[in-house]
């Protein structure tokens, strides 16, 4: 089949976009030897930061998903006043500068705030604590989960839910046995995106908890203190680990068997 001029133009433009994405990453990888990456992986500080990054992002994703998924269902199924405003509020963390998000969160979780006082009552200080890191990560990444889950619930046929209700199923049973299984692919995709976005967060986290250092903060610290050459191996190692996790999670999502109707 003959390729038209417009298709060739689109291919050229698309190739330029791919080059724009790949060229900086390829340059960084080509400038870093395997020995440097292995040496960096052997440093306790680097390993601790990577583990901290993974488990704080995972914890924030799982904890906030408990409320985010039901909210997504309501947005997909219910009409209520100021629904568009609620949707806009959900997307706010995506559009505001993340350093500003960190400042806002710092006031929200500081020792003088209501949440900070409640945390202090049980011996938990969010500022400079993994819990504060999880909150910062979740704040900037939760829109990805809510929007993906909402799209998934919107794709579930309403007639199936109504039929189950007519047959005597409770709303809770309809949600857990019909709506949730049929929307699960979108929800899983949203969970993966939220987790991945949380791992990459820097601006909000550095304001709330510079220490202990997650890997993005450690990369910034090493770049500021020692320069590009010292920060690059950590960046390469973190990208490889993040990419591996992302591939595994996507594979799990693809292999999951879905309920068929």
Residue 27 lies in a domain: no
Domain range spanning residue 185?
A: 55-212
| CB 109, CB 135: distance < 8 Å | yes
Residue 98 lies in a domain: yes
- Number of independent structural domains in the chain: 1
- Mean pLDDT per 10-residue interval, the chain, length 261 residues: 82 96 94 94 96 97 97 94 93 93 94 88 89 96 97 95 92 95 94 95 95 96 93 96 88 58 41
Q: What is the pTM of this model?
A: 0.90
Residue 226 lies in a domain: no
Residue 42 lies in a domain: no
Residue 94 lies in a domain: yes
Residue 64 lies in a domain: yes
What pLDDT does 259 receive? Answer: 43
What pLDDT does 119 receive? Answer: 87
Residue 73 lies in a domain: yes
Residue 69 lies in a domain: yes
What pLDDT does 36 receive? Answer: 95
What pLDDT does 255 receive? Answer: 53
CATH of residue 167: 1.10.3720.10
């Amino acid at each position: 089949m003959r390729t038209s001029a417009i298709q060739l133009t689109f291919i050229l433009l698309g190739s330029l976009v791919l080059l724009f994405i790949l060229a900086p990453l390829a340059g960084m990888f080509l400038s870093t030897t395997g020995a440097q990456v292995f040496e960096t992986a052997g440093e306790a500080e680097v390993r601790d930061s990577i583990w901290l990054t993974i488990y704080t992002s995972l914890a924030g994703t799982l904890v906030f998903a408990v409320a985010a998924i039901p909210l997504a269902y309501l947005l997909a199924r219910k009409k209520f006043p100021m629904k568009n405003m609620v949707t806009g509020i959900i997307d706010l963390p995506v559009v505001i500068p993340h350093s500003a998000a960190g400042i806002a969160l710092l006031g929200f979780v500081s020792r003088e705030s209501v949440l900070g006082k409640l945390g202090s009552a049980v011996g938990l200080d969010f500022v400079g604590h993994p819990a504060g890191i999880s909150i910062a990560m979740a704040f900037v990444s939760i829109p990805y989960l809510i929007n993906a889950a909402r799209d998934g619930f919107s794709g579930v046929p309403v007639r199936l839910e109504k039929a189950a209700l007519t047959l005597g199923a409770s709303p809770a049973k309809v949600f857990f046995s019909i709506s949730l299984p049929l929307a699960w692919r979108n929800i899983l995709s949203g969970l993966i995106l939220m987790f991945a976005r949380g791992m990459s967060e820097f601006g909000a986290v550095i304001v709330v908890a510079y220490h202990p250092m997650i890997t993005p903060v450690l990369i910034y610290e090493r770049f500021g203190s020692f320069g590009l050459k010292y920060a690059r191996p950590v960046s390469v190692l973190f990208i490889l680990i993040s990419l591996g996790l992302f591939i595994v999670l996507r594979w799990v999502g693809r292999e999951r068997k879905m309920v068929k109707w």
